[in-house]
Structure 1
Amino acid sequence: MLSSTLLCFLLFLPLSEEPDELTVKPEQDVTLGCRALSDGPVTLLEWNRRDLKDEGYVFFYRNQRAYEKYQHPRYRGRVELRDPEMMHGDVSVVLKNVSINDTGTYDCRVIITGGNESRKLINLTVTDSDPTSGQEVEHPRLVVGVSVAVGLVIVIVLLSSVLCFIIYKRRNSPTNNPSYKAPADEST
C-alpha cells in the first residue's frame, strides 16, 4: 500500500523541463509560447536561440519596450509579442515567415517585478514534410492530463482494494461462519 501511495505522490510532482517540440512548414508564422510565473509587470524578457546566443537575441524587452538593436540581424522585423500588453504573463512571440534556417532551440527567459524568473525551451523544426499546425504546442497539457487520469485510476484501484478487503473480512468473520457457535450466556 505504501508503494502505491508513493507512486500516486510521484505522479503529481512537476515534470522535468523538457523542451516543447514544434514543427512548421516554411513561410508560415509561428507562435513561440511562453508565460511568466505570475502576473506582475515584466522587468526583462529575452528570447534566445541556443546556437546564436552570442550573436544577438531573437527578441529583447526591457524598461517597458523592445530593443531591435540587440536582435540578431536574421530576426529584425520578423519577431513581435503576441500580446503587446503581456496580459496574464503571456510573453509569447510570433516569428514571421519562417525558413529552414530558423530551425533550432529557442530559450525564453522572463523576469517580473520582484525577481521571479521563469524559463521555457522550444525546439522548432521548419520542414517541408507534414508538420503540425503553426500554433503553440499543446502536448504538455496532454502529459498533465494523462498524469491526472493515471493518478485517478490508481486512487480508484486503491479504494476498490480497501473496499474488497473490508467485504472479505466481514464475510469471513467468525459470526458469518456456519460452524461458529456463540459462547453460552453465563448470566442464566
Structure 2
Amino acid sequence: MSAGTSAALWLLFVSIVFVSAEQKTITADPGQNVTLTCRVQEGKTIRAVEWSRADLGDEYVLLYRDGRFVSNEQHPSFKNRVDLQDRQMKDGDVSVILKNVTVNDTGTYECRVFIRETLSWESISIITLRVVVQEENLLDSSLCT
C-alpha cells in the first residue's frame, strides 16, 4: 500500500471516529452542578472510563478503571468535584457530575471508554462547557456594594 493510500485511509478512520462521538454544548452559571452526559451502547462491557479536557495535558478530569477512581492521574482542579452519575454504570451510563463549576471549567470535554469486546478505546461524547457570569448577576452584586 502506498504512503498516499495509507494517509487517506488513516484520515477516513479518524473522521469516522470523530464524527461518531455525540457532540453538544452546555452553558452554565458559576456555582452550578453540571452533568456531562455519556452513554455507551447496550451490550458492551465497560472496562474503563476517562473524561479528559485537551488543555489538561496528561491529567484527567476523571479516570475510572477496574471499579475504582485513579486519583493520581487526575488534574488537581477536579479533585473532590467530579463523580460518576452512576458508579455501577447501569445501562451504559458513564456521565459525570461536575460540582460547583467556575469559569476555569470552560472547555471541551471528551468521554472515552475502553470496551472489553473490542479491546479498544471509543470516543463516545464530546461536550463543550461554557461557564459564564450573567450580566444580570453582575448588576445585582454591584448594587449591593
In the superposition, the TM-score normalised over structure 1's length comes to 0.57
Q: 1:108 aligns with which of 93, 108, 111?
A: 111
Task: Decide whether the 8 Å contact of 1:44 with 1:62 is kept in 2.
Answer: yes
Question: Which structure is higher in helix share?
Answer: 1
**Aligned match of 2:70:** 67
- My pick for the range that moved more, 76-85 or 15-24, is 15-24
Change over 3 Å in CA distance of 1:99–1:57 after alignment to 2: same
Residues 109 and 17 from structure 1, CA distance in 2 versus in 1: closer, same or farther, beyond 3 angstroms? closer
Aligned match of 1:128: 133
**Larger strand percent:** 2
Secondary structure at the counterpart of residue 57 of structure 2: helix
Structure 1 contact 111–118 (Cα < 8 Å) conserved: no
Residues 1-188 of structure 1 mapped to structure 2, 5 A cutoff: 17=21, 19-54=23-58, 56-115=59-118, 117-129=122-134
> How many residues end up aligned between the 2 structures?
115
Identity percentage over the alignment? 46
Inter-partner Cα distance in structure 2 for 1:44 and 1:16 = 19
Q: Residue 65 and residue 41 in structure 1: after superposition, are their counterparts in 2 closer, same or farther (change >3 A)?
A: farther
Please identify the structure whose Cα radius of gyration is greater.
Answer: 1
Tell me if the contact between 1:21 and 1:124 (Cα under 8 Å) persists in the aligned partners: yes
Q: Call closer, same or farther: CA 1:45–1:21 in 2, change over 3 Å.
A: same
Q: Is residue 21–residue 124 contact of structure 2 (8 Å, CA) maintained in 1?
A: no
Runs of 4+ in 1 over 6 A off after TM superposition: none
User: Which residues of structure 2 form unaligned runs of 5+?
Assistant: 1-18, 136-145
Q: Which runs of 5+ in 1 are unaligned?
A: 1-14, 131-188
RMSD value over aligned CA atoms? 1.9
- 8 Å CA contact 1:37–1:117 kept in 2: the answer is no
Deviations 1:40-79 (A, max 9, x none): 331111100111132x100001112111111000101100
| Secondary structure class of the residue paired with 2:108 | strand
Q: Is the 8 A contact 1:47 1:58 kept in 2?
A: yes
Letter in 2 for 1:77: N
1 CA distance for matches of 2:72 and 2:98? 17
**Aligned-partner Cα distance in 2 for 1:118–1:18:** 9
TM-score by length of 2: 0.72
Distance 1:44 1:16, change over 3 A: closer
Q: Distance in 2 between matches of 1:123 and 1:41?
A: 26
Q: 1:29 to 1:39 in 2, by over 3 A?
A: farther
